């Protein structure tokens, strides 16, 4: 496994981040524990979750699965750079969601309890809260850092100007502010290249792409359909209907490269300068194994250029659409 620093920090994280959203709803706790053990065995030290993950198992269920795994000991928590998130409503009463100082305090303590740990390495805002001033948010984060409950703060699903706004407020407080941004980013969806990536690079934030295979679209979906392995649904089905010719061209090209489609999609992200670590969310062990393989896939300049032809990206705004 390769490692890099998370944004401008001195924190070393694996180039693959283990996403845990499927743990509980689709992956049983014993299987999830086995996947996490395998991730450590492969050198993956960066795990991502959220307080709201759990779906039909209940909000917070995924954090509990991680907490029970940490409780097994043997250095599991110490070897893990742990990231979780706050924002979504965890109950029906007021102040049980968003980024008020009150909710941050309560949500953080609840996550620590479920995760069975006394600190979180990367505490992320799952979405921008347009109704809470950054002075309040950063005050709450400063208190949590002083208490030793979190080490770093990150964002998720922010626009470029939200990152600038957050960093301006942090600078006024003489604090570090955000160190990472978690965004939807993959070969088929490259909108963040317009403004989010330039903002992140300017302020020293590492990019953590979620849905790196676009819901399976970039994982050899046409081949799997032909072989009867899977039925396309959700985000992948919608995009596939609109971009079937592109996906076919992509699968034809990765066949020429001699690598599985999912490996190439992850490798492409790893070749992007702004990307710290794609977040992969395996349901089963084979999906994790594929992600680990991608670290060793090298794409030369010609291959990268061909992928850009199949899935054109964006230049930095405003040059992408103006002069």
The residues that are catalytic are 53
Cα gap 144→123, rounded to integer Å: 10
Q: pLDDT at residue 41 above 90? A: yes
Q: For the whole model, what pTM was predicted?
A: 0.94
Q: pLDDT at residue 238 above 80? A: no
Alpha helices in the chain (DSSP H): 29-41, 61-70, 101-115, 134-146, 160-172, 196-203, 221-226, 234-257, 261-270, 285-294, 301-310
SS3 state of residue 65? helix
**Mean of pLDDT values over 26-41:** 97
Q: pLDDT at residue 232 above 90? A: no
Q: pLDDT at residue 252 above 90? A: yes
Cα gap 99→83, rounded to integer Å: 17
**How much is the pLDDT for 240?**
82
Comparing CA positions, the residue from 261, 7, 290 lying closest to residue 152 is 7
Please name the residue that has the structure tokens 């989010």: 196
**Mean of pLDDT values over 285-289:** 93
**How much is the pLDDT for 225?**
84
**How much is the pLDDT for 231?**
65
Mean pLDDT of the chain: 95
SS3 state of residue 32? helix
**How much is the pLDDT for 233?**
65
**Mean of pLDDT values over 21-43:** 97
Distinct helix (H) and strand (E) counts, the chain:
11, 10
- Of the pLDDT bands very low, low, confident and very high (cuts 50, 70, 90), residue 24 is very high
SS3 content of the chain, % helix, strand, coil (to 5): 45, 15, 40
Cα gap 40→235, rounded to integer Å: 30
**How much is the pLDDT for 241?**
84
Q: pLDDT at residue 174 above 70? A: yes
Q: pLDDT at residue 236 above 70? A: no
Cα gap 196→158, rounded to integer Å: 8
Residues in the chain: 323
Q: pLDDT at residue 23 above 80? A: yes
**How much is the pLDDT for 9?**
98
Please name the residue that has the structure tokens 């963040």: 192
Q: How far is CA 285 from CA 35, 174, 301, in A?
A: 6, 44, 32
**Mean of pLDDT values over 114-141:** 98
Cα gap 134→168, rounded to integer Å: 9
Q: What is the pLDDT of residues 74-116, one digit of tens each?
A: 999 999 999 999 999 999 999 999 999 999 999 999 999 999 9
**Mean of pLDDT values over 159-165:** 98
Cα gap 247→222, rounded to integer Å: 8
What contacts 252, CB < 8 A, 6 or more positions away? Answer: none
């Amino acid at each position: 496994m390769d490692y890099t620093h998370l944004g401008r920090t001195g924190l070393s994280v694996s180039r693959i981040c283990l996403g845990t959203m499927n743990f509980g709803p689709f992956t049983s706790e014993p299987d999830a524990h086995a996947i996490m053990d395998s991730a450590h065995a492969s050198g993956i030290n960066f795990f991502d979750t959220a307080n709201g993950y759990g779906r039909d198992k209940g909000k917070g269920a995924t954090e509990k699965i991680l907490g029970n795994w940490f409780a097994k000991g043997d250095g599991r928590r110490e070897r893990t750079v742990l990231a979780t998130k706050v924002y979504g409503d965890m109950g029906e009463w007021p102040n049980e969601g968003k980024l008020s100082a009150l909710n941050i305090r309560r949500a953080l303590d609840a996550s620590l309890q479920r995760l069975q740990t006394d600190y979180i390495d990367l505490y992320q805002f799952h979405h921008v809260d347009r109704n809470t001033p950054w002075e309040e948010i950063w005050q709450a984060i400063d208190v949590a850092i002083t208490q030793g409950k979190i080490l770093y703060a990150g964002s998720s699903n922010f626009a470029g100007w939200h990152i600038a706004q957050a960093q301006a407020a942090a600078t006024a407080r003489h604090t570090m502010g955000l160190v990472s941004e978690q965004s939807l980013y993959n070969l088929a969806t490259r909108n963040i290249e317009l403004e989010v990536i330039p903002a992140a690079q300017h302020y020293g934030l590492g990019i953590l792409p979620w849905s790196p295979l676009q819901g399976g679209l970039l994982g050899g979906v046409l081949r799997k359909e032909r072989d009867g392995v899977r039925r396309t649904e959700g985000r992948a089905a919608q995009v596939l209907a609109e971009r079937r010719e592109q996906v076919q061209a992509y699968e034809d090209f990765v066949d020429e490269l001699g690598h599985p489609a999912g490996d190439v999609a992850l490798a492409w992200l790893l070749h992007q300068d702004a990307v710290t670590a794609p977040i992969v969310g395996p349901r089963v062990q084979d999906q994790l194994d594929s992600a680990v393989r991608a670290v060793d896939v090298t794409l030369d300049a010609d291959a990268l250029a061909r992928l850009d032809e199949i899935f054109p990206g964006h230049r930095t705004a405003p040059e992408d659409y103006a002069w």
